[in-house]
Structure 1
């Protein structure tokens, strides 16, 4: 089974007073726009969020064609590693949001992606799943040595355990869990052979959001261009790591 964990639990401090996770981006809430790009390459979606976001996110995801579950951070504002831990733990548990039960599958693979990456390339996501097979993670790294940990694929159970261990040890760097895993790097040459760095572009500020809105409105979800992502899923959940 392939799952997507959309990290939406950050505070969006650079975005202003609104929650960018559900902000309208060319007519579609941001998180839903990310989810819509993944519908052909995953089997289910888990949205990691704070408790106070859940109602708005449920409205944003209404009518989505795949099963959707919500993994609420037990202690919000603990940073990106905690959000990833909560999301992939839900994938490993196999809980079905509709029925409240389901078979646990710790070996399931999960794409972790920030909610503010509206140009995520589904074909590249498919490749990440292929690269992760037989390993515990596949993490892209651009030629600037920036690891894109919030557009990466992880084996859910081991990654959840690794995040838990790192948090218990007081580690907060997003790469810390990877030190406990057997993982592969998807390097710059592989990335550019299959996609462009725009797949990692995110929207942290109003200006970036407005620029993305113009591109999407002009190109109906287009390919666009931009800078490397720091993939924050709302400032508290940044993911790109140098």
Structure 2
């Protein structure tokens, strides 16, 4: 079993354009901001968490995350080049990381399964990335594990060429795609679901409330 230290980057630098005027990372579920839910869940799977965001987001994130009773350090990493998408956020964050591999999880996945993140770390060994395939056949690079050094090299080259697609970067990495059938055996599809709109947020949190009420 892999016992190397593990790091995770939470991607939170987007503009939440489909969510309304509120930063969706700060939308509360049971009184706790969504970004805190993600970070709290990841804390049981990794040894350090970095939050990639725009500089103007940092004060609000500091307030929310400083109140989180996490067992691992959580650090804010403002993106020196905002508005260039998740690949840029990953590269700038990975440059602050010393571990061989790091998980990447979007801030709008509040039901991320830490056991599945651990599974992705195990699967990534010997590859540049381990990326789950969704039930619609698409891959989910915003909840995946990457080899830090190689991802920085490829990412820097692509960003210099103004090729900003994170999915595009997978084609230049030795990427292990976890088949959808395997993913469904390891976790629920809900754990990989990202919340983009206010309607999705209401529906997903209502589902969460219903699940708790039924327990």
Shared fold (TM-score, shorter chain, > 0.5): yes
Look up the match of 2:202.
210
Q: Is the 8 A contact 1:136 1:182 kept in 2?
A: yes
| Gaps in structure 2 of 5+ consecutive residues | none
- State whether structure 2 residue 162 is matched by structure 1 residue 170: yes
Look up the match of 1:45.
49
Task: Map 1:1-242; keep pairs closer than 5 Å.
Answer: 1-62=5-66, 63-91=69-97, 105=98, 107-220=99-212
* Distance apart, 1:121 and its partner CA: 1.1
Post-superposition CA distance 1:13-59 (Å, at most 9, x none): 11111111112122110100011111211111000000000011111
* Distance apart, 1:216 and its partner CA: 2.9
* Distance apart, 1:220 and its partner CA: 4.8
TM-score for both structures, normalised by structure 1: 0.81
- SS of residue paired to 1:31: helix
Deviates more, 1:80-89 or 1:46-55: 80-89
Distance of aligned partners of 1:221 and 1:60 in 2 relative to their CA distance in 1, 3 Å threshold: farther
* Distance apart, 1:89 and its partner CA: 2.1
Distance of aligned partners of 1:38 and 1:220 in 2 relative to their CA distance in 1, 3 Å threshold: farther
* RMSD between aligned residues: 1.8
Q: Is the 8 A contact 1:135 1:182 kept in 2?
A: yes
Alpha-carbon distance in 2 for matches of 1:4, 1:176: 21
TM-score for both structures, normalised by structure 2: 0.90
Alpha-carbon distance in 1 for matches of 2:111, 2:135: 20
Distance of aligned partners of 1:221 and 1:74 in 2 relative to their CA distance in 1, 3 Å threshold: farther
* Distance apart, 1:79 and its partner CA: 1.3
Which gives a bigger RCO, structure 1 or 2 (Cα 8 Å, sep 6+)? 1
Post-superposition CA distance 1:158-196 (Å, at most 9, x none): 112211111112212222222332221111121011112
Give the paired residue count: 208
Alpha-carbon distance in 1 for matches of 2:109, 2:151: 21
Q: Is the 8 A contact 1:119 1:221 kept in 2?
A: no
